[in-house]
Copies of this chain bind each other. A is one copy, B any other.
Amino acid sequence: MKTFSISEVAKELNVTAYTLRYYDKEGLMPYVERKESGQRLFKESDIAALKVIECLKSTGMPIKEIKTFIDWCTDGDSTLQQRFDMFMERKAVVDMQIAELKKTMELIDHKCLYYKTALDAGTEEIHKNDKIEIPHY
């Protein structure tokens, strides 16, 4: 079975080897095997697991909570409900994050328009009489 070194995995996942060792220290990689000499041997499945970790991280989940999830995985079938619940909760979180980004986008679009108009006029003065416009910007 093909295996990968820490720097190969780091490259593949666009993180540093430092980061991967940090994750290991924090207990996120209890499954990664080693050579006699202590060097890590990453399998394809280990990389897949790291991608799930990346996924959780990108929802804003802190390392310690991800660790809890990894521990559940190690504990086996008795934790299936917790793990299901966790992913359902993450789903709700991501839904909220997308909704918030869309609101953020509205303000940004508004500002783009604001500055386009000012730029065409050569001055921000053009917005002096706007209804509920924001004075400072």
Partner-B contacts on A (CB < 8 A): 31, 45-46, 48-49, 51-52, 55, 58-59, 73, 76-77, 80-81, 83-84, 87-88, 90-91, 94-95, 97-98, 100-102, 104-105, 107-109, 111-112, 115-116, 118-119, 122-124, 134-137
The 5 closest A-B pairs by CB, nearest first: A84-B115, A45-B135, A48-B134, A49-B136, A87-B111
B77 with A122: CB separation less than 8 A: yes
Copies of this chain in its oligomeric complex? 2
Query: Which of B87, B101, B119 contacts A108 (CB under 8 A)?
Result: B87
B52 with A123: CB separation less than 8 A: no
Tell which of A48, A58, A87, A97 has the most Cβ of chain B within 10 Å: A87
